[in-house]
Structure 1
Amino acid sequence: MVSPLRTPAHPAYLRVVRASAWYDLVVTAGFATPWTYAPVHDALSSGSRALGFGALPEPDAWQVLFANLMGSVVVVWAVLRIVRTLPEHGLFDGAARTLFATWQAYALAHGASRLLWLFLGVEVAFGVLQLLPWRWRRNGGPVPDGASPADGRPLDTASR
Structure 2
Amino acid sequence: MPSFSPAQFRRIVWASAAYDVVVTAPFATPWTFAIAFGQLSVVNQALGGQPLPAFEPMHQLFALLMASVVMVWSWLRLRTPTAALGRHDAVTRLLFSTWMFWTWLQTGAPVMLLFLLPEISWAVAQAWPVKLSAPATAALRPSAA
Q: Same fold (TM over 0.5)?
A: yes
- The verdict on how the C-alpha distance between 1:154 and 1:43 changes in structure 2, with shifts beyond 3 A counting, is same
Deviations 1:24-68 (A, max 9, x none): 000001111111100010111111111211211111112201110
Match of 2:115 in 1: 119
Check if 1:154 corresponds to 2:141.
yes
Q: Flag as ranges the 4+ runs of structure 1 deviating above 2 A.
A: 144-148, 152-155
2:101 partner SS: helix
Matched length: 140
Check if 1:3 corresponds to 2:2.
yes
TM-score by length of structure 2 reads 0.87
Bigger RCO of structures 1 and 2 (CA < 8 A, at least 6 apart): 2
Check if 1:81 corresponds to 2:80.
no
Kept after mapping to 1: 8 A contact 2:3/2:128? no
Task: State how 1:20-39 maps to structure 2 within 5 Å.
Answer: 20-39=16-35
1:40 partner SS: helix
Task: State how 1:50-129 maps to structure 2 within 5 Å.
Answer: 50-129=46-125
CA RMSD, 1 decimal: 2.1
TM-score by length of structure 1 reads 0.79
Structure 2: which 5+ residue stretches go unaligned? none
Report the structure, 1 or 2, having the larger helix content: 2
Instruction: Tell me the amino acid that sits aligned with residue 60 of structure 2.
Output: V
Kept after mapping to 1: 8 A contact 2:49/2:108? no
Instruction: Tell me the amino acid that sits aligned with residue 34 of structure 2.
Output: A
